[in-house]
Chains A and B, each alone.
Chain A
């Protein structure tokens, strides 16, 4: 990431708006100047004032068009120049013109500074400069009447609105940037979890198995490696299933259950489901596997298979243990000892799915769980 590059100010379109407005109002001021030139007390001063307005319009167009030149002091100078030009009006306009309520030298061109101040400093700055411009208008008019009051309200209100808009734009950009950072961090975390799983965990698993085969001191090392394998696996599993937009990849989440005795298979691509479904199905697989550990013995192997049929997903967990003898299942259930099985059934029912447990003496046990894919998740495939 490059450090020197500041983010684009989200209020930039507002700045460009003020530049366009300045040129439009300058045209308006030129028209007013030409209409009233003959009646002015000091036409030369009027032309000089217009020259200043033209010059300042060029200067602000160049500076405010560039983000790094939108300096606070330039915005303050903008207010001073505008009010200064406006305050030449009593010397330019004749008494008759004041009586006819002819426009001030600056006309509507003076309405721009509250907008730039709002864009730069937010609502407070916009209101303050609106008030300053309003007071300046009153002084230049040599009178405070309804027109001046109305101008004051409009100037202040426009500064306020632009200020609120600029602040809102900056806040939403900051919020968006924060959300993107969080998402990137989550993705990075998932990537790390996968890579740890594929490298370190595999090596630890190999050390554990090979050391166990060798015995003696190597067996002790194998035991230590095994402990770290379990700890690391738990570390990378927590929190990785949660993902963006309320959906997560069940395939990747299940993969983290793989050990040297548990093989996980599934499609090569992602299987996206709502986060809740992913969490529940991973819990189901975990419980079925814990059952394998408890009942099938330490030598038993287990396989987890995930299939994506579009309208439903199928999760199978099978082990090659001794299985459950006929009648034992019902017996265990009657005694209330089939905690895990009923917990799995409960979770699956909650997801609107079905599950079948197949077992028999020397046939291992096999769970087949079918869960319908919710409509929303289906679009994401």
Chain B
């Protein structure tokens, strides 16, 4: 079965280019959207396997759209495809549930491989993303207020550092003398802990600020 993909980007030229590249490689481009709100709406109707998401969507927030899509559509995976400079946004997107990040300057081959990995349920953990996740865990460890913040195990730290230095899963497995699958599991686990923590934080924030009651009152 072909993998259905949805492309969210506010640049038509980029959108069409990516759609053509993916179409040539056997993917079904089921839909496109130019902003976050439309992305959530269309994704609900189309239920694509993978959403390719730019974070720089003019007025609407790509991060909020990712949170909506990943909570409402558990079978849909989001791959962030963005410019290289938006570190804070990328980190937020991953915490909101995106399962990977690729820079826009990546080659078509890299893009195709990344979409395929995402469709298969594996995270696309580029060196850039590993560096950010590593930094985020260290930031949380330094913040004394965040008692419930997740921590990395020593092994997870080793694996993330090697990913951030550009080693492939195979090379990491060789270097640490563990199996390829174990490397993947470590990487998955660092991401899952971060996303879970983010969800807990959001829920706690909502309760503390009475947002949950307000919503009930309205509905």
Contacts and interface: CB of A to CB of B under 8 A. Distances in A.
Contact of A266 (B86, B104, B131, B161): B131
Nearest to A251: B87
Interface residues of A, number: 33
A306 B84 contact: no
A265 B127 contact: yes
Contact of A305 (B83, B127, B139, B142): B127
Nearest to A307: B134
Contacts of B131: 265-267, 305-307
B128 A264 contact: yes
B16 interface: no
Contacts of A366: 165
B83 A202 contact: yes
B165 A316 contact: yes
B72 interface: no
Contacts of B105: 202, 205-206, 260
A340 B85 CA distance: 29
B165 A268 contact: no
A197 to B, nearest CB: 6
A317 B164 CA distance: 11
A267 B166 contact: no
A268 B194 CA distance: 14
A199 interface: yes
B83 A199 contact: yes
A320 B167 CA distance: 9
16 contacts: A195-B85, A199-B83, A202-B84, A264-B128, A265-B131, A266-B131, A266-B135, A267-B134, A268-B132, A302-B166, A305-B127, A305-B164, A306-B131, A308-B135, A310-B138, A310-B142
Interface of B: 83-88, 90-91, 103-105, 107, 126-132, 134-136, 138-139, 142, 161, 164-166
Interface of A: 194-195, 197-199, 202, 205-206, 209, 251, 255, 258, 260, 263-269, 301-303, 305-310, 316, 318, 320, 366
Given A260-B105, A310-B142, 11 more contacts: A206-B105, A258-B84, A263-B166, A264-B84, A265-B130, A265-B131, A267-B132, A268-B87, A268-B88, A307-B135, A316-B165
